[in-house]
Amino acid sequence: MLLEADTLTYDNDSQIVTAAGRVRIDYGGNRLVAQRVSYDQNSKRLLAEGDVEIVDPQGTRVTSDKIDITDDFGEGFLNALRIETADKTYFAAESATRRSGRVTTFNNGVYTACAPCEEKPDKAPIWRIKARKIIWDGQEKVVRFEQSRFELFGFPIAYFPVFETADPTVKRKSGFLIPSLTQSDELGTGVTVPYYFALSPTFDLTVTGSYFTKQGFLGQAEWRQRFNNGEYSIQVAGINQKEPSAFDPNTVDSGPEGDPTEGRAMVGTRGQFDINPRWTFGWDYLAQTDKNFSKTYGIANFAKSVQRNQAYLVGLDDRNYFDLRAMEFKVQEEVLDSNPDARDPKQPLALPSFDYSITPDEPVFGGELNLDVNARAIKRDELDGFTALSDIRSGNDPFVRGLDGDNGRITGEAEWRKTIITDSGLVITPILAFQADAGYDNASSESIDRVNAMADRLNSLSEYQGPTADADVVSEFNRYMATLGLDLRWPVLFSSTSATHILEPTAQVFARPNEQYVGDLAIPNEDAQSFVFDATTLFERDKFSGYDRIEGGTRANVGFRYTGTFGGGWSTNAIFGQSYQLGGENSFDQPDLVNVGAYSGLETDTSDFVALAGLMTPVGLSLSASGRFDEESFDMRRGELKAGYSQGPLSLTARYAYIQEQPLYGFDEDRQEVRGTGSLRFAQNWTVLGSGTYDIEKSVVTNRGIGFGYDDECFTFNVSYAESVNRDDEDDVKKTIGFNLSFRTIGDFGSSQSLAQDTN
């Protein structure tokens, strides 16, 4: 034991040692400071007085006017004390006793996780719990409150005869978690109460009970287990619905085709493990009695609109990667499978999907070589596209997103490029690329008939030529594409004392044969359906988004890049250019089952102009604009404007988007909308935010919302209100109201309310 003091007095008759004046005692990891300390050698007790402070080995700090404690600091009595734990939680009481070295009882105590105000230390914290008695068991890691009331901003809002919570030092402790509330027209008012079982340091279980006034009891359980190299979880949930008729008729939630299904359930599992520093294995899988159960009841981790069931193996090493996975896409929707608008039965299985890429570290013939392999096997039970031949003949949905049956493809691609810089600064990059594919397509005869009908419909249009289909329902194909390219860039630097400008004229030429099997059913387009031609894709060698389509013919891309840097933190950038089909067949003018090239801006020999410009300022303002413009009239075909401001407490964003109609691509009308978001932080801890989206073509606000919140180191509060409006029916409004309270060390409490309102 180490003792420091101004004076030290020994009373041999009474066996009392007294230290006075700036006393400090260090013993067994405990530190005690006081103005005066008396030690009774007979009773082995310390009596400390005057600005007493004790700090234990865990960092818990106790302050009091007077402390009577044993010499091992295991038991004692304290008056008018305050305790500050290592993780910044606070106890205060009129008096307290400590026994057995582990249990502290506070009389007329107060507990909070909010630090006292430095300017007004006597001011009530944001929240606190006052109790007649607080019992803190340091061994069981439990704090028990008896005859307690919960105060928020100094006002009592709840009374609890008895309740317990985990010790502030505990990260995992068995017990009830904070309940939550929900409200919706179909489910009614719901109360959810979870109970957490901390079974071991590596695994736990959460059991949750929810009761909905219209649908009854929903039971849930989640098992989680962690290992040194990963973790996994298993979730189950089930309900026996009391009132299926509360849901809209002829929906999955109310039961299939007038046959209400009361019992609904799900099981889901997720996991990921690191085999070694380079390889990772994982899975994500959901099985349920119907396709919308998890979304309807908001099952955590499985409530997304599109659930991707998958198992995967991924390897990463520098610039090389390996990705092998099996996938199943499940659309959680309320419409029945018999409904023509149903999406779920049209989703494919990918068994498997494979990607492999390798880039050798060493140069190959003085340049960089990249090798890619892609393979997929697709199985689809139902045709994804139009629903009847009459729809095609009437001009509706003249495209097919996916054929029923199965198809597959394996692709190998190699690209070599070498950069040469001349004395004049010209950057010359020769490019050699080769791609080879082999695949099969086993489409049903019904698919063949419908594609042929679609082809007839498209071929009747003077502006477009439709695809054709083979009479044989089983097709195999082999395909290749060789590319010889040249990329020329000549960056020119202009500089002054306050600015630097780099102008980089760029020209590319890619020579290659025509794309094979264009418009033929033998090669379905499964992975290249999403395509946007803009300034970011102007200088791509192959502008298609996937491997099922390949650019063919000889093409030139011409344009320039500009970058400017100015004094004071200002900067700007721009891209402008155009693409030209110099020879061979233009792949973007050749149809496939989804008409991916239609209205792309590349379907003519001289493409539309594409442009992009951006500005960054030191005052938090950023601006950007991009667009695609007709090659003859310069009319805008596609455009986007963005503006953002973030400075201090204020943050604003605005976005305008316009896309011209694309009838053969599935969009019969222009699309044009404006979206804005904003947030303002005021009074240090308060934030207000809002957002809205306005459909200019429909003249309707499709989304709007507002919210505000408070947050600091011990308390968070959020409340929000949002509306979603059907752009085709303004009276169809879905409203959501929610709030969340979070108290550090105590837990979260939240509520959400969803209400569908139709005023027709």
Phi, psi angles (nearest 5°) of residue 392: -70, -45
In angstroms, what is the C-alpha Rg of the chain?
A: 35
- Cα–Cα distance, 143 to 162 (Å, whole number): 11
Residue 349 CA to its chain's centroid (Å): 24
**Closest alpha carbon to 559 in 542, 543, 544, 537:** 537
- Cα–Cα distance, 108 to 128 (Å, whole number): 13
The CA distances from residue 566 to 122, 574, 613, 620, in Å, are: 52, 15, 16, 15
- Cα–Cα distance, 516 to 435 (Å, whole number): 12
Residue 71: its H or E element:
none
Residue 756 confidence (pLDDT): 45
User: For residue 522, with 0-12 CB atoms within 10 Å meaning exposed, 13-18 middle and 19 or more buried, which class applies?
Assistant: buried
Whose tokens are 């222009």? That residue is 670
Residue 246: its H or E element:
none
Q: Is 244 helix (H, G, I), strand (E, B) or coil?
A: helix
Structure tokens at 580: 């030209």
Residue 650 confidence (pLDDT): 95
- Cα–Cα distance, 690 to 704 (Å, whole number): 8
Q: Is 113 helix (H, G, I), strand (E, B) or coil?
A: coil
For 695, other C-beta atoms within 10 Å of its C-beta total: 17
- Cα–Cα distance, 4 to 506 (Å, whole number): 79
DSSP letter string over 270-317?
A: EEEEESSSSEEEEEEEEEESSTTHHHHTT-TTS--SEEEEEEEEEEEE
Q: Is 129 helix (H, G, I), strand (E, B) or coil?
A: strand
Residue 256 confidence (pLDDT): 58
Task: State the greatest distance between any 2 C-alpha atoms of the chain, in Å, as a whole number.
Answer: 119
Q: Are 420 and 403 in contact (CB under 8 A)?
A: no
407-442: pLDDT as tens digits: 899 999 999 999 999 999 999 999 999 999 999 888
For 438, other C-beta atoms within 10 Å of its C-beta total: 15
Strands 609-616, 180-184: pairing is: unpaired
| Helices and strands counted in the chain (H then E) | 3, 44
Residue 478 CA to its chain's centroid (Å): 40
Residue 590 confidence (pLDDT): 83
- Cα–Cα distance, 54 to 67 (Å, whole number): 9
**Closest alpha carbon to 437 in 357, 524, 378, 375:** 375
- Cα–Cα distance, 566 to 66 (Å, whole number): 66
- Cα–Cα distance, 296 to 188 (Å, whole number): 12
Residue 508 confidence (pLDDT): 98
Give the residues of the chain that fall short of pLDDT 70. Answer: 256-261, 386-399, 450-474, 519-522, 664-666, 751-760
Residue 391: its H or E element:
helix 389-393
- Cα–Cα distance, 51 to 710 (Å, whole number): 36
Structure tokens at 78: 């304290």
Q: Are 586 and 603 in contact (CB under 8 A)?
A: yes
Residue 445: its H or E element:
helix 445-459
Structure tokens at 678: 């904003």
Residue 758 confidence (pLDDT): 43
> Cis ω on the peptide bond leading into residue 663 (within 30° of 0)?
no
- Cα–Cα distance, 734 to 704 (Å, whole number): 11
Residue 468 confidence (pLDDT): 57
Structure tokens at 30: 């405990």
